[in-house]
Amino acid sequence: MKEPFVSIHKSVYVIKEWQDRSPGLVAGFTTKEGGMSGAVFKSLNMGFHVGDCVEHVCENRQLLSKTLDFPVSSWVGAVQTHEDRIVTVGEKDKGKGALDYQTSFEATDGFFTDEKGILLTLCYADCVPLYFFSNKFNRIGTAHAGWKGTVSGIGLKMVKKWEEEGIPLQEIEVVIGPSICGDCYIVDDYVIDKARQWEESNNALFYAPVDGRKSNYHLSLQQLNKLILMKAGIPQENIQMTHYCTSCHSEFFSHRRDLGKTGRMMGFIGWKEK
């Protein structure tokens, strides 16, 4: 499958095929390169909550705003809690969580909107960014799917919300973004037991035992999210998945690789007003 993410700048990958098809759409993922932060946050840390200097985070967000030509005053952000709460965003919400953490949406791991001039943003450092797009119905969305959000079915929940509001499943497209791969992500029985609820006899492709390590497994959250999206009714041909791993590729922050002392990338999607 063709890689959906294309580098346009040392700091940014975009979902080029979506952007080419829908004028004004901006959708992508940042790297850790080209920012103002130092130490373990070097250099384009986008997260307020990790202990970095707030002024540096704001400067990094302003740099991204210029790169995307999307004013930071039109962004929305969240206090992410690895759960499955999804919020509909509108004009009145512009700026919430954009340049401070205090005004962010509380306990939120997914956004969607039908309105232009709003950039939906969420932060990552190994968890799975999910991007949702219906060109025909002018709707975009995004979700943060760590292992807890994934096994809770946040991707399925987003799809069902859209379907309930009149968007046919065949008109929903999804891209699964840069996140830790199955080779790098090792979990225990507790996590795998939660993930097995999605397993069927012919699709146990999202986990495998670690050689020589009892009760340890390689878990591909990317593959598991794809399976869940297909269970939600999204046609397989409407789902694209990246080859980029945040742990394997040094241009990204990785919570697992960096032992918890690291910055955050940002996943984003929005339509420009002009």
Which domains are assigned to the chain?
5-188+221-271 (3.60.140.10)
127 CB-near residues (< 8 Å, 6+ apart): 82, 144, 145, 146, 147, 149, 179, 180, 221
Return the bridge partners of 25, or none.
Answer: 271
Structure tokens given for 211: 């050689």
- What mean pLDDT value characterizes the chain? 96
Helix (H, G, I), strand (E, B) or coil at 236: helix
pLDDT at position 201: 64
pTM score: 0.98
Model confidence pLDDT, tens digit, residues 92-109: 999 999 999 999 999 999
* CA dihedral (106, 108, 111, 113) positive or negative: negative
How far apart, in whole angstroms, are the C-alpha atoms of residue 116 and residue 96? 16
Torsion region of 25: left, alpha or beta (phi above 0 gives left; psi -120 to 50 gives alpha): beta
Which two tokens mark 224? 């598991």
- Which residues are bridge partners to 123 per DSSP? 266
pLDDT score, position 214: 83
pLDDT at 91: 97
Q: What is the mean pLDDT of each run of 10 residues along the chain (274 residues)?
A: 95 98 97 98 98 98 98 98 98 98 98 98 98 98 98 98 98 98 97 92 78 90 96 97 98 98 98 88
Asked whether the beta carbons of 95 and 73 are under 8 A apart, the reply is yes
Amino acid 203: pLDDT: 59
**What pLDDT score was predicted for residue 212?**
79
